[in-house]
Amino acid sequence: MKMDLKPRFDFALTLVQEAGALALGYFNDLESLTVQSKGLQDMASEADLNTELRIKARLAEAFPEDAFFGEETGAMAIVPGQGVWVVDPIDGTQPFLSGLSSWCVSIAFVLDGVLQFGTVFAPVRGELFAGGRGFPATLNGKPVKRHPGRSLREGLVATGYSPRVSGAQFLGPFTGLLEQGGMFFRDGSGALNLAYVAAGRFLGYMEPHINSWDCLGAIAVIEAAGLRVNDFLVGEGLHKGGPIVAGVPEVFPELMRLNGFQAER
């Protein structure tokens, strides 16, 4: 039986804003937060955990038949034919804890290994991105427009980095981008920067390794906008993450080449 995705999509739109409001309350009272380190440049607080727990509880109540995979609480066992919600309660925790606005809540839905839809909400900036298979790519309910650039010289490419890979793995593509006349942007949230690709603010995005909860919500919007992205979920992408390259069709092949992939057309 084919799953009806519309009720889940509509619920995700409401839930991501509810979760964003909860996280924003913590953001407005940063001095009271207890912060812990999960590793090098990898922080978390009760804001991350409590926001994820709220999302998880609401989804369990609304769709108990679905599985859940969150950054803070991990993954449930997933059986064939079962949908799974992939959640990052606060993507951009470092900017969040630093009092910057570049953070967001990301919720995506995957069924049988295929990304179905995603939502990304940046509460401080008041921006809600959404889209997926059968759902148009929108920003605050209005259709997005692609970046008009046709080469790396005609706009910005957002980049991401984490200590999960070596500096050399990052610097190779990064240097290549600059040598091709491109320019970079980074503000600490992969999900939000990827959503900006969908919304036409960036030519593209590249990162040598990113986790699924950091990117799937935005990838769904990028795909709904008719832009290009590598097959992130191939292999162990859902559970182990991997490299990501996304962009407008004219720039995507060059970004792929810079990152060591075959230059797709």
Residues 6+ apart with CB under 8 A from 185: 156, 157, 158, 159, 193, 202
Distance between CA atoms of residues 181 and 83, nearest Å = 42
> Which of 100, 124, 143 is where one domain is finished?
143
Domain annotation covers residue 1 = no
Domain annotation covers residue 23 = yes
Are 10 and 132 in a shared domain? yes
| pLDDT of the residue at 262 | 65
Strand partners, 114: 111
**Number of domains observed in the structure of the chain:** 2
Are 77 and 111 in a shared domain? yes
CB contact at 8 A, 113 and 68 = no
What domain range is 234 assigned to? Answer: 152-258
Are 72 and 190 in a shared domain? no
> Which of 109, 143, 177 is where one domain is finished?
143
User: In the chain, which stretches have pLDDT less than 70?
Assistant: 1-2, 37-44, 262-265
**209 sits in which H/E element:** strand 204-210
Are 102 and 177 in a shared domain? no
Q: Which residue, 89, 105, 23, 20, is CA-closest to 52?
A: 89
| pLDDT of the residue at 40 | 46
The pair of three-digit structure tokens given for residue 205, joined into one six-digit string: 């995005």
DSSP notation for 63-77: -TTSEEEETTTEE--
Token pair 């992130």 in the structure block, residue: 232
- Say which CATH number the domain at 74 has: 3.30.540.10
The amino acid at 88? D
The pair of three-digit structure tokens given for residue 32, joined into one six-digit string: 């009271």
| pLDDT of the residue at 43 | 55
